[in-house]
């Protein structure tokens, strides 16, 4: 039986909507004080379905912004026991031959640099406390590669490699570092994709339906809990039977 997360602080990046809002709500239902990190601090609690402990405006791809947000968070609610690196963008769907370098940099920076920056900001307090849970929202695209979204897939593969490396660095500290690799979930992220790309993604899911935000949030909440204590550096798939490796 789960003991719950009461007394714990959780930072969830990109939590103003979509998957991040679902994860944040689920963590808060388990008792965590959830700090929403997103581009704007104008977040309506009724839209996300719960009352966050704080909302902090941040660009997770910008080192100075992350540093300031971490300081603000610690001052407002204390250092987090849980960090969920969820913020991300898809970027355009187009072949590598047409992909602009600036777009590549932006997609990699928001999906990958952010995971390094936000994790780094909270490692020391977690080490001092002898406890922590870092959960990185990757993607099945990072395990398999997907045509048309090379920058996204490369960044998510990078996030998986970072997860495994950091987990090994911190393995004796009480901090676990894991990733989740979801298939497609119906969120505003899909507005960045073509209809063909969405249909092709759905066709690859053996359960023949999209993953729900609730299903993914439940998994993340378990990985972020004290009960998930002996698994680190692992990628938890949420793929409706697509990834079996």
Ligand X SMILES: NC(=O)c1ccc[n+]([C@@H]2O[C@H](COP(=O)([O-])OP(=O)(O)OC[C@H]3O[C@@H](n4cnc5c(N)ncnc54)[C@H](O)[C@@H]3O)[C@@H](O)[C@H]2O)c1
Handedness of CA 168, 170, 176, 179 (dihedral sign): negative
Query: Counting every residue, how long is the chain?
Result: 245
Give the number of residues in contact with ligand X, rule: CB under 6 A: 26
Q: Which among 99, 101, 152, 245 is annotated as catalytic?
A: 152
Q: Which stretch binds ligand X (CB under 6 A): 16-24, 48-56, 76-84, 218-226?
A: 16-24
Start-end of H helices in 130-211? 140-144, 150-169, 195-203
| Element containing residue 236 per DSSP (H, E) | strand 235-238
Residue pair 138/179 in contact by the 8 Å Cβ criterion: yes
Measured over the CA atoms of residue 160, residue 162, residue 165 and residue 171, the dihedral's sign is negative
Joined together, the tokens standing for residue 144 give: 């398999």
Q: Give the span between the Cα atoms of 143 and 181, in whole angstroms.
A: 8
Phi, psi of 53 (to 5 degrees): -70, -30
211 backbone dihedrals φ, ψ, rounded to 5°:
-70, 145
Nearer to ligand X, 20 or 158 (CB): 20
Residue 60 or residue 123: which is nearer to ligand X going by CB?
60
Of the residues 10, 24, 56, 59, which one makes contact with ligand X according to CB under 6 A: 59
Stretch that binds ligand X, among 4-12, 24-32, 76-84, 184-192 (CB under 6 A): 184-192
Pick one of 48, 87, 123, 175: the residue that binds ligand X (CB under 6 A). Answer: 87
Closest separation in Å from C-beta 19 to ligand X: 4
86 binding ligand X? (CB under 6 A)? yes
> CA nearest 122: which of 169, 154, 82?
82
Smallest separation, CB 153 to ligand X (Å): 10
> Is 152 an active-site residue?
yes
Residue 30 DSSP SS3: coil
- Binding flag, residue 185, ligand X (CB under 6 A): yes
136 is a site residue for ligand X (CB under 6 A): no
Of the candidates 8, 11, 14, 79, which one interacts with ligand X according to CB under 6 A?
14
Residue 233 binds to ligand X (criterion: CB under 6 A): no
Residues near ligand X (CB under 6 A) are 13-14, 16-20, 38-39, 58-61, 86-89, 110, 137, 139, 182, 184-185, 187-189
Instruction: Point out the residues that are catalytic.
Output: 152
């Amino acid at each position: 039986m789960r003991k719950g997360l009461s007394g714990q602080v959780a930072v969830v990046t990109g939590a103003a909507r979509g998957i991040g809002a679902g994860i944040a709500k689920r963590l808060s239902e388990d008792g965590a004080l959830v700090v929403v990190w997103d581009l704007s601090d104008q977040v309506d609690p009724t839209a996300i379905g719960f009352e966050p402990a704080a909302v902090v405006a941040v660009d997770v791809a910008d080192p100075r912004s992350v540093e300031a947000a971490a300081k603000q968070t610690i001052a407002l609610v204390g250092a987090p026991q849980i960090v969920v690196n969820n913020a991300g963008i898809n970027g355009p769907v187009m072949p590598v031959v047409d992909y602009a370098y600036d777009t590549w940099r932006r997609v990699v920076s928001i999906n990958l640099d952010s995971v390094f920056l936000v994790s780094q900001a909270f490692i020391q307090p977690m080490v001092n406390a002898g406890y922590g849970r870092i959960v990185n929202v990757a993607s099945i695209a990072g395990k398999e590669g997907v045509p048309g979204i090379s920058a996204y897939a490369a960044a998510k593969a990078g996030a998986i490699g970072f997860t495994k490396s950091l987990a090994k660095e911190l393995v004796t500290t009480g901090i676990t570092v894991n990733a989740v690799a979801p298939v497609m979930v119906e969120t505003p992220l899909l507005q960045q994709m073509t209809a063909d790309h969405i249909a092709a993604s759905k066709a690859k899911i053996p359960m023949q339906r999209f993953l729900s935000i609730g299903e993914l949030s439940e998994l993340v909440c378990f990985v972020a809990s004290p009960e998930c204590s002996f698994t680190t550096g692992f990628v938890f798939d949420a793929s409706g039977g697509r990834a079996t490796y």
